[in-house]
Structure 1
Amino acid sequence: MTDQNLSAPVVVTDSDHPNLDPEHSVLDPAGIGLRRAQCRTAEDVIAQCGGAQVLVNQYAPITAEVLDALPDVRLVVRYGVGVETVDVDAATRRGVWVANVPDYGTTEVADHTMALAMALLRGVTGYDRSVRAGVWDYQVARPLHRLDTRTFGVVGCGTIGQAVAARAAAFGMRVLGFEAMQDRSLAGTPIIRVGLDELLASSDVISLHATLDSRSARLIDARALASMRDSAVLVNTARGGLVDTPALLAALDAGQIAGAALDVLDSEPIDPAVRDALARHERVVLSPHAAWYSEESFVRLKTEVAREAVRVLAGRSPRCPVNSPVVGGVTEASPTEVPR
């Protein structure tokens, strides 16, 4: 199999994956060609993706200018959940579907979230560092508390947020939740629905699972951090742009909060200066945008973007659209969405 068929209708704009074998396993039997680019800018996408009917996208920007320059594109499908790399409004106006894969790594992200939270709540990373440095003393992580005395705050109560809430409740923690979508039902979950201000002021763990958009950007800013308990910890496995990183560093430096566990940052790969500033804090835990990852979720993500390409190229709607594109002046109907 080759990723360099220049006439292939499906183009991966960019990818840090080692190969495209899972995508080929879906596309090859359907007789659909696949090619791989490595674009960083909108100009790269225009130059390298000519003739594409489907763009499979990781980080490269898909702007209105890109879509104008690539008029054959019918679908932009993202490797992952967020679609902030895509101008969705521009795609909608141009009759282009935008889709994502919201359910490929729910279990992994929820498990990773709890791993990060537990590392702080039980002092695991602090103990590990101290023992490696030759110190054998339980007091290096004081104070620690029983989990069933703690309150766990979930910001964004979609599928992942609810999965995290169930895990936190299983440890005996009281769970508060803030959800901007007022019509989202939380029935059957352990979540007590509250406003954001109450959640920030009352939680020992604030875990972020909101979608990143113009309303939620820098949701956790200096004001939000100042309203948190000085014993609270922040966990972010959603999107780096939800947090004002300079404000977080200032809050950590001032002791306004007790710690942070971050799988995502607003600039990735992490800027060395930001990495060093965060790493100097004993109660900061970092991972490299890996919460989504398992071998199983990796294959699921890659095969599902390929299946979306097959669906749209066959004239069907994608399984997980995030828009309803306008085609010939008529808005395409979106199928029932997968829970998000």
Structure 2
Amino acid sequence: MAKYRVVITDYEYKSLQIEQDVLAQLDVEFVTSAQCRTEEEVIELARDADAILNQYAPISARVIQNLNNCKVISRYGVGVNTIDLDAATHKGIVVANCTDYCIDEVADHALALLLASARKVSLLDAYVKQGVWEYKKAIPIYRLREKVLGLVGFGKIPQNLCLKAKALGLRVQAYDPFITSEIASQYEVELVDLDTLCQSSDFISVHVPLNPRTQGLISTKQFSLMKREAIIINTSRGPLIDEQAMITALQNSHIAGAALDVLEYEPIRPDNPLLQMEQVILNPHVAWYSEESEQELKGKVAQNIVDVLSGFYPQYLANSQVKNSAALKERSARL
């Protein structure tokens, strides 16, 4: 009988070979047969697990209360909004993620959405394929140089995007109450409040984690402050934007467009008005993806589990307050 039982609640990958190879460092039974969607399914699967790999299935307070042996929950991705962090911390369960596997990919995708929106690439492509060869269908298009990119959040991904945007001649400002003036100065970025950012930006790109404080961060007030030429871009999490407020702003031409890799409900519902708006670009939550980033993610989230089951805090610890109750060593203790 294996020493540890590791379960994966759900996944959308073709293969789990990378995870299996990493977990092979330990004596592990790796349970991969489930695709949980509900709390009840997760409880049934993971009740006696030592570790959980999670993608989208809900790891709520109720689920966590029913975990008898769990020491670590490792999530595919940067965000941990599928997991009740407070409940896990209270029970002494380590929550881990992977914060650096797709920095270039998401920054590149946000920039691609910005360029496609600004130059109306998708709109013109659709017209040409309909037999309409007429640039005036895209009027007006404005020069990018000296336009203002407003970054909502200024962590690793928007910092990466900032450097790429500046190379195109965009001016960059950011709203992030957790970023110091020293970091902003390093990137030659002006720190502003959210209202100022909404009022003065030509492009607004959202890059903050989803939690109760940030849900609906961009809503009716913020859209009312934006320029009519403004385009909003989201490659983070859909519920950061009040979707109905955005739809209303688009319908009333209070903003010029949107480029969205994430939505409030995924997959998008067939009756969503965004599907009928030619000024909106929609992608299926793909900004994180490259062949390299997927491989990196899979290896790192599995290594989180190996670290904890081996007695160490993982490199990507999402709930640092668990250190008050978990008896693990720091990674440096290996040396």
Short-chain TM bin = over 0.9
For 1:333 and 1:232, locate their aligned partners in 2 and report how far apart those are by CA, in whole Å: 49
Taking only the aligned residue pairs, the percentage that are identical comes to 42
Show the 5 A alignment for 1:21-60: 21-36=17-32, 37-60=34-57
1:204 to 202, 210, 221: 202
Structure 2 partner of 1:189: 187
For 1:106 and 1:280, locate their aligned partners in 2 and report how far apart those are by CA, in whole Å: 31
2:297 to 290, 298, 301: 301
How far apart are residue 149 of structure 1 and its match? 2.8
What one-letter code is carried by the residue in structure 1 that aligns with 2:271? A
How far apart are residue 13 of structure 1 and its match? 0.6
How far apart are residue 180 of structure 1 and its match? 2.3
What one-letter code is carried by the residue in structure 1 that aligns with 2:277? H
2:317 to 295, 304, 321: 321
Q: What TM-score do you get using the length of structure 2 for normalisation? A: 0.93
Show the 5 A alignment for 1:1-340: 9-36=5-32, 37-183=34-180, 185-274=183-272, 277-326=273-322, 330=325
How far apart are residue 217 of structure 1 and its match? 0.7
How far apart are residue 157 of structure 1 and its match? 0.1
SS at match of 2:15: coil
Given that 1:97 and 1:325 are in contact with CA atoms closer than 8 Å, whether structure 2 keeps it comes out as no
For 1:123 and 1:334, locate their aligned partners in 2 and report how far apart those are by CA, in whole Å: 53
- Structure 2 unmatched ranges of 5 or more: none
How far apart are residue 76 of structure 1 and its match? 0.8
SS at match of 2:320: coil
Q: What TM-score do you get using the length of structure 1 for normalisation? A: 0.92
How far apart are residue 330 of structure 1 and its match? 4.0
For 1:69 and 1:145, locate their aligned partners in 2 and report how far apart those are by CA, in whole Å: 56
Given that 1:205 and 1:235 are in contact with CA atoms closer than 8 Å, whether structure 2 keeps it comes out as yes
Gap change, CA 1:312 and 1:279, over 3 Å in 2: same
How far apart are residue 31 of structure 1 and its match? 3.3
For 2:80 and 2:94, locate their aligned partners in 1 and report how far apart those are by CA, in whole Å: 12
- Structure 1 unmatched ranges of 5 or more: none
Given that 1:111 and 1:164 are in contact with CA atoms closer than 8 Å, whether structure 2 keeps it comes out as yes
Given that 1:201 and 1:229 are in contact with CA atoms closer than 8 Å, whether structure 2 keeps it comes out as yes
For 2:144 and 2:204, locate their aligned partners in 1 and report how far apart those are by CA, in whole Å: 14
Given that 2:231 and 2:256 are in contact with CA atoms closer than 8 Å, whether structure 1 keeps it comes out as yes
Number of residue pairs the alignment of both structures matches: 329
